[in-house]
A and B are shown apart, each in its own frame.
Chain A
Amino acid sequence: MVGALMVLPLWYLVLRAFEADFETVMRLLARPRTVQLMLNTAALTAGVLAFSTLIALPMAWLVSRTDLVGKRVVNVLAVMPLAVPGYVMAYALIGLAGNYGFLNQTFGFALPRPQGWWGATLALTLYTFPYLYLNLRAAFTGLDQSLEESARALGCTPRQVFTRVTLPHLMPALLAGWLVIGLYVIGDFGAVALMRYEVFSYVIYIQYSAAFDRVYASWLALILIAIALTVVWWESRLREGAHYARTGSGSGVGTRITRLGPLGQVAGWGFVSSVVIASIGLPVAVLAFWMTRGPLAASLPAVVDSFGQSLSVAVPSAMLAAMMALPIAVLAVRYPSPLSTLINRLAFIGYAVPSLAFALAFVFFSLQGVPILYQTHLLLVSVYALAFLALALGPIRSALYQARPSVEEAARALGHGPVSTFARVTLPTIRPGIIAGMVLVFVIAMKELPIAFLLAPTGFRPLSITMFSRTSEGMLLEAAPYAAAIIVFSALFVGFVLRHDKKAGG
C-alpha cells in the first residue's frame, strides 16, 4: 500500500506532463532556457560538492588523524552547521550585505547582495558540508593503519600513500556523502530561490505559483527526478566497484596520529576557525544583529503561533512515518522475499525524488484523484510521512536486525500468541529505534520548506514558510525571529545526530 502511495502520484505527474501534444512539449523542452537550467543545476551541484569536499576533507583529517588541540570541540563545531538550513544560511548571507546590512551598519562597508551561482553555492556549501565530514571522519577512523604502513614499506612516499592508498579507501565515504549532498542540492529550493539562481526547483516553483503553467512545471519536475535518479544510479554503480574492506583476518592496528608542530596547530586552527566563523558565526551574528534592530517582544506571539503550526504537522508526520515504517521493516527483516525487497526500495523513492517534484506530484494527484484532500493537513502530513519514510525506516530496521528472533520464539514457547509477542517483546526491544526514527522525521518536518510551500492548507504558516516569504520580500528584520527559532530547534537535531554518532562510534 505504501509502495502504491509512493508511485501513484508520480504517475499523475507523468499524466499531466503528457497532456500537451508532442509539438508543445518539444517547444518547451528545446528551449535554450531548459538547457541553461540544466547547466545551472549541474554547475551548482558541482560547485557545492567541490567546496564542501575542500572543507570537509581537511576537517575530517584534522579531527581523526592529527593531534590538533581541542579535537572534541572541533568535532562538535564541524557538525553544528547542520542546525542552519540552507535557506537560513542564504538569509544570513543576504542580511550581511546591503546598505542596511550587518557589515555596513557595523563596520561601515557594504557588499553587494549575494546572489546567483556564488550566493547559492556558498549558502548550500556552508550548510551541507557536515554530511560529508561525518562520512569522511568515520572512514578515516576505520582505515587500518597497517595498510598505509605496508605502502610505506613498499617504497611509497607519504604523498603517494595518500593518493594511492588513503584516497581510494575514502572513496565509498566520499560517494555516500556526495550522494546525500547532491540530492539535497538538486532538490533544494529555499536557498536558490532567495539567491535568485535559476535551477530546476526554482523555476518549477515560479511556473507553478506565478505563471501557473502546469504542463511545463511537470516536465521540469520529471527532468529533475531524472537527474536525481541518475545521480543515485551513478553513485551505486561507482560504489559497486569499490571493495575496500580489510581482507585479512588479523585485527586492525588502529589509526596513526600525525603530530602537528606549533605551526601546524596554528594553521589547523586557522582553517577550522575560518570555517566555523563562516558557517556558524555568520548566521548567528547576522541574526543577532537583526533581532536587536526591532522590537522582539512584539513579534513573539506570532512566532509562537507559527511554531505551533509547524508542530501541528511535524508531530503527526513523525508518528505516521513510524507507523508506516514499522511493518515495512518487519517485513524486510523477518520475512525477506523479493516482494519485501521491492517494498523497501519503493520506500526510498521519497528520499531520492527531489521534494519539490514529489510535492508537485501530490498536488496533481490530489487535484485529479481525490480533490477533497487538496490543501488539507491530512495530505501534507501524509506527504511528509512518505517523503521521510526512509529516515524512519533506517533506525527501526537496524533495531530489528539487532533483536534476536530467538527472543520472540521464546515468548511463543511461553504461551504468548503472535500479537502478544509483538506487543510485549518485539516492540519494547526496538523502541529506541522507533523513537530515533520518529525524532529524525519530526525535526526534518519542522524546518521543511518546499513541500510545505506547495501543499500548505490555506492559512497554514509554519516557521519555514513565514521566514522564507519575509526574506524573499526583503523583510529581513521581520524574518529574524523565525530564523532564530528554526536554528534553535535544528540545534536539537544536531545534538541528536551527535549522540547517535557517539553511540555508533563507541
Chain B
Amino acid sequence: MDNPAATDATRTAFEDADIRPAAPTCPAGLIGGAAYAGASGPPLMIIEGLKRVFRAGERPAVDGVTLDVYEGELLALLGPSGCGKTTTLRMIGGFEQPDAGHIRMRGVDITDLPPEKRGIGFVFQDYALFPHLDVFENVRFGLHKLPRKEAAARVGEMLELVGLSDLAKRKPHELSGGQQQRVALARTLALAPPLVLLDEPFSNLDAAMRVETRQEVRALLKKSGSAGILVTHDQEEALALADRIVVMEAGKVCQIGTPDEIYRHPVSSFVASFIGRSNIVTGKAEGLGAETPFGRVELSKAVNGTVDLAVRPEQILLEPHEEGEAEVIGREYRGHDQLYWVRKGERRLLVISGPAEQIEVGARVNLRVCDCVVPINQDIQSLIAE
C-alpha cells in the first residue's frame, strides 16, 4: 500500500518484469518546471544548492537541491524513502545544518538562523503535541510574546477554524489522530507563518481519514494564506494536493512541475515510473515521430536519434487479431477498468483498458498507441544522437 509506484493494491508478479524498474539516474541539471502559476510577485523562498552529508565518504543525503516556493503556494516534496526529502525539509526548518547551499526567505539569508528565529511553521509526522499541556495551552504555546488576552482570543479563533472549540480542555492523549493533527495545525497556523512545513502529515491516519483530511488541510492552508511544503512518499497524495510537485531521488531533484506536467511530461524513467506507471520503450526518433516496437508513434516534442519513451498503460489499445503481434498473458478485472499484461517478443507490457473489453488470457492481439508519447532521459539521449 505504501509502494508509491502502484496506483492500486493489485500488484502482481507480472508487472515487475517489464514495467521497467526506475533507473536511479536523473538527468543532471534537468529539473524543468515552470514557476507557480498562481504566483504574484517574487518567490517567498529560494533554496540554492542545498547539500547535507551525514557520514563522510557516503553519498550525500541531500545533494544540491535547488527550488523555490511562492507566497500561498502548496509544494510537495515527493520521493521514495531515503531520497532526502525529509532532510531537506528539516534544513528549511532549521533542525539540520546544511553543509553547503543557501536558503533565502523574502530576500533574507536564513541559512544560519536557529529554528525559533525563522518564523517558519513545522507540523511533525507524530504531531509533537506537548503532552503536559491541554489543547488550548498547546495552541497558545507559540503566542508567548502576545499579551495574554490577545493570545487567548487568537487561540479561540484558531480552534474555531479547525473545529475543535469544544475540546479546548482535553489533553493530547484524549484526542483521536485526526483531532491531534488539527491541533498541531492550529498551533502552527496561530502564528500566521508565511510558510508551513509538513512532514508526512497524513501517514499516521488510516486510509479513509487520509483522503478526507488532506483536502481539509489544503483548505486550511489556503484560507490562512500561508505557503506550505509537504513531504510525502505517496504520489497520489502529492498529485491530489499540491500546486507544484518536486520529485526527488537519491538526494537530488529530478523534476519540478504541476501535477499535470509531472504526470504527462515526465523527464526521466524514474519520474515516469514513480508517478503512475509507464512502459519504457526505446525508439528511433525523427522530429515529432518515432519508430517503436508499436510501430510509428507521435511524440510530444521534437527530438532526433535513439530515445527512451514513456508509454502510459492507458495509451495502448489492444486489437484482438488471430495473428496478432502480442499475446495476453494476464488479466485483472478492477471494475472501473482492467489491467492486461501482454507479451510481445521478449518484452512484457502493461495495458489499461475499459471495463467492457473481453479478451481472454492466451489470445493474440495487435498493439496500437493512441496518443502522443513522451521522450524521457532526453538530455543524455540527444547528446548521444548528436
Contacts and interface: CB of A to CB of B under 8 A. Distances in A.
B314 interface: no
Interface residues of B, number: 26
A175 B131 CA distance: 37
A407 B144 contact: no
Chain A's interface size range is: 20 to 34
Interface in B100-128: 114-116, 119-122, 124-126, 128
A412 B94 contact: yes
Contact of A415 (B125, B128, B142): B142
Interface of B: 93-95, 114-116, 119-122, 124-126, 128-132, 141-142, 144-145, 184, 187-188, 191
A459 interface: no
A404 B116 contact: no
A418 B95 CA distance: 12
Given A412-B116, A416-B116, A407 B188 contact: no
Contacts of B120: 413
Interface string A390-428: 000000000000001011011111111110110011001
Q: Main SS of chain A's interface residues?
A: helix
A472 interface: no
Given A404-B126, A406-B125, A413 B116 contact: yes
B115 A412 contact: yes
Given A409-B122, A413-B115, A415-B145, A429 B191 contact: no
Nearest to B94: A412
Residue of B93, B94, B95, B129 ringed by the most chain A CB atoms within 10 A: B95
Interface centre among A404, A413, A428 (most CB of B within 10 A): A413
Contact of A413 (B122, B125, B130, B145): B122
A404 B126 CA distance: 9
Contact of A414 (B94, B132, B141): B141
Contacts of A407: 128-131
Contacts of B130: 407, 410-411, 425, 428-429
Nearest to A409: B95
Interface of A: 404, 406-407, 409-418, 420-421, 424-425, 428-429, 431
A368 to B, nearest CB: 46
Count chain A CB atoms within 10 A of each CB in B115, B129, B144, B191 and give the residue with the most: B115
| B contact face: mostly helix, strand, loop, or mixed | loop
Given A414-B142, A415-B145, A409 B119 contact: no
Candidate in A415, A420, A431 with the most chain B CB atoms within 10 angstroms:
A415
B126 A406 contact: yes
The 9 A-B residue pairs whose C-beta atoms are closest, nearest first, are: A414-B142, A413-B122, A412-B115, A410-B128, A406-B128, A428-B132, A406-B124, A407-B128, A415-B116
A335 to B, nearest CB: 14
Given A407-B131, A417-B114, A429-B131, A412 B126 contact: no
B189 to A, nearest CB: 11
Contacts of A420: 144
9 contacts: A406-B125, A407-B130, A409-B93, A410-B122, A410-B130, A414-B141, A415-B142, A421-B116, A428-B130
B124 A414 contact: no
A406 B122 CA distance: 10
Contacts of A428: 130, 132
A338 to B, nearest CB: 16
Given A404-B126, A406-B126, A415 B131 contact: no
